Structure 1
């Protein structure tokens, strides 16, 4: 059931991971997450993730392999994370729908107030950044 899939992009550039800070809703305000969103009917995970990154960041991405396992979300949804890169490495992502963006090295991952589902994936994100 594709309507129950939320996809996220672990965008890595120069050994750093891109995170974005939520501005809404109130219970998520100020928390950090990976870029992404809901897969719409008729979309593949990859197409949905590319669309969401274009909407949220104003950039095109290339989507790679899965990172970690599915994370259960409220309402029977699941979160799936994919490794990604900027299609044009010279293009800078913008916080179109979020409060802020930040490039993080592996030592900074634990220092942010992540949304719970993204926090579950921190070991997998750490492994992605360190190549382990």
Structure 2
């Protein structure tokens, strides 16, 4: 029996004007038309943060600054396991361009749970909203 693939992936919760960027996977990608945060696979010798900056630049032509890391999430899908390393970010330079995704939306944090997300993203959304609420109560 072959060993189950375990992907290490960075993802960005990009904030702007009180909203967060959500990206919809294209119809040709695995998990077609599901929503996700932009990012990608961590390469050998690369930190999760370095990967995030590189992937968002490649995928969306945007330079981001990392504000803070969130709690990593490991999720078992039917054919593979993924560990997501989420980071809250802001745009340093550029406007998001769709190179890989079918659609993007800027949503208030309260509306994030209403989209049809990849399953691994739900705990990240919950963690992000809890931290945001704590930050606002300050």
**TM-score normalized with structure 2 length:** 0.81
How large is the RMSD of aligned CA atoms in angstroms?
2.0
| Runs of 4+ with >4 A deviation | 24-27
Higher helix share: 1
Counting matched residue pairs gives: 128
Map Cα deviations across residues 56-86 of structure 1 (whole Å, 9 max, x no partner).
1111111232113333345444111011111
Secondary structure class of the residue paired with 2:96: coil
Structure 2: stretches of 5+ with no match in the other structure = 1-5
- Name the residue aligned to 2:92: 87
Structure 1: stretches of 5+ with no match in the other structure = none
| Bigger radius of gyration | 2
* Structure 2 residue 67 is matched with structure 1 residue 61: no
**TM-score normalized with structure 1 length:** 0.85
Map Cα deviations across residues 35-70 of structure 1 (whole Å, 9 max, x no partner).
001000111111111110011111111123211333
